[in-house]
Amino acid sequence: MTEFLAAAIRIATPLLLAALGGILSERAGVFAVGLEGMMLAGAFAATIGAWAGGSAAAGIGLALAGGAVIGLAVAVVAVRWRADNMVTGLAANILALGLTSYLLRVAAGGGGRPASIHLPLLGPWPIPVLADLPVVGKLLFAQPPLTYLALLGCVAFTLFLGRTQAGLALCATGENPEAAFAAGADPLRVRMLAVIACGAVAGLGGAVLSLQQVGTFTDGMTGGRGYLALASLIVGRWTPFGAAAACLVFGAAEAFELRLQTFGVPVSSYIVQMAPYLIALAVLAVLGRSARLPAAIGRPLEQ
């Protein structure tokens, strides 16, 4: 059981970081369809940073930057130039997929072959005393660093959105940009910054995959996790802890599928793999109209 929960947390971590980024973007009024590309750019930049810079810290730093670059591209096209949010996000995902695959081959490969990079995985950092607690100790207090960051991020983002001037300005921009403007905020600036920050945080989610779980970068390694993160932040109703709960449910579904495989249960793994998507659809369908989006989401700013 502990192992099962540990697997669920492991799978949920990259989703959660991406979802936290997505919350910033969507609460500011910009659909976060580009999460997949931001994660992928983060995973790639983390790998290159850790490989070229020789330390995980360099990888994490570059992951923030890599995700932010995609965030910047989305911000310029969707916010500054007022293009459709969703389609811009899709375009950013294609661009990130192409760029990372191309650069992986150019950076260290040759003749169209990808570079082969193998990184040591970021190991767990057990917290003294707490890590020795039964069950919870191993689950919550003996995790690799980025997992702690994701958990702390939930607390920090909740406080930021609800208790700080900047956070309130961000939410106001997503609900009613005209009112936010009247109250002295600059909606254009707020949205641009929110989307760029979204990219950076989602980039960390990608770094979890490459630095903490796989140890290298492969083409399209996010494999739809960005879209799953998008679903989880909606299912979690645009709140950090809600999104965390949704990510854990998706993580549990995938962990369950892995278990079924190891025990040779005669249930098709493909059907079980559909679970996260079907759960997300079901929750969205049940919420229906009551899934209240930020009021001004997707609406371009009037100048």
Partner 1 sequence: MSGPVSSLPAGGVARAPLRLRLATDRLAVRILLAVALSMLGAALLIALSGHGPLTAFAAMAVGAAGSAHQIGAALNRTTPYLLAGSGVALCFRAGIINIGAEGQIAVGGIGAVAVALATPAGMPPLLAILAALLGGALAGAAWAAVATAIHIGRHVHEVLATLLLNFVAVLLVQQALAGPLGQFGAGFLQSPLLPRAIWLPRLPLIEAHPGFLIALAVAAALSFVLWRTRFGFALRVAGASRPAAAYAGFSLARLTWGVMLLAGALAGLAGGIEVLGVQRRLIEGFSLGFGFKAVTVALLGALEPLAVVPAALFVGLLEAGALSMQRQIGVPSALVAVIEGLTMMFVLAATVRRA
**Shortest Å, Cβ 105 to partner 1:** 4
Tell me if 274 contacts partner 1 by CB under 8 A.
yes
Q: Are 84 and 78 contacting, i.e. CB atoms less than 8 angstroms apart?
A: yes
Neighbours of 32 (CB within 10 A): 33
CB of 24 vs partner 1, minimal distance in Å: 19
DSSP letter (8 states) at residue 216? S
Minimum CB separation of residue 255 from partner 1 in Å reads 17
The smaller minimum CB distance to partner 1, of residues 141 and 227, is found at 227
Q: Does residue 43 bind partner 1 (CB under 8 A)?
A: no
Q: Which is nearer to partner 1, 98 or 123 (CB)?
A: 98
| 30/192 Cα distance (integer angstroms) | 9
Q: Which of 210, 199, 211, 229 is nearest to 38 (CA)?
A: 199
- Which DSSP symbol is given to 52? H
Nearest residue (CB) to partner 1, 82 versus 121: 82
Of 17, 20, 23, 92, the one binding partner 1 by CB under 8 A: 92
10 Å Cβ neighbour count for 140? Answer: 17
Between residue 97 and residue 126, which ones bind partner 1 under the rule CB under 8 A? 97-99, 101-102, 105-106, 109-112
- The answer to whether the CB of 191 falls within 8 A of the CB of 32 is no
Q: What is the DSSP letter of 208?
A: I
Q: How far is CA 25 from the centre of its chain?
A: 11
> What amino acid is encoded at 103 in this protein?
L
Q: Is 52 in the site for partner 1 (CB under 8 A)?
A: no
- Alpha-carbon span 183 to 171, nearest angstrom: 13
The amino acid that residue 203 corresponds to is: G
The sign of the CA dihedral 207, 211, 216, 222 is negative
Q: How far is the CB of 251 from partner 1 (least distance, A)?
A: 16
- Which residue carries 């991406």 as its tokens? 18
250 binds partner 1 (CB under 8 A): no
Query: Considering the rule CB under 8 A, would residue 266 count as an interface residue with partner 1?
Result: no
Tell the smallest beta-carbon distance from residue 274 to partner 1 (Å). Answer: 5
Complex with partner 1: residue 57 or 106, whichever CB lies closer: 106
Q: Is 234 in the site for partner 1 (CB under 8 A)?
A: yes
Contact footprint for partner 1 (CB under 8 A): 31, 33, 73, 76-78, 81-84, 86-88, 90-99, 101-102, 105-106, 109-112, 219, 224, 227, 230-231, 234, 268, 270-271, 273-274, 277-278, 280-281, 284-286, 288-289, 291, 293, 298-300, 302-303
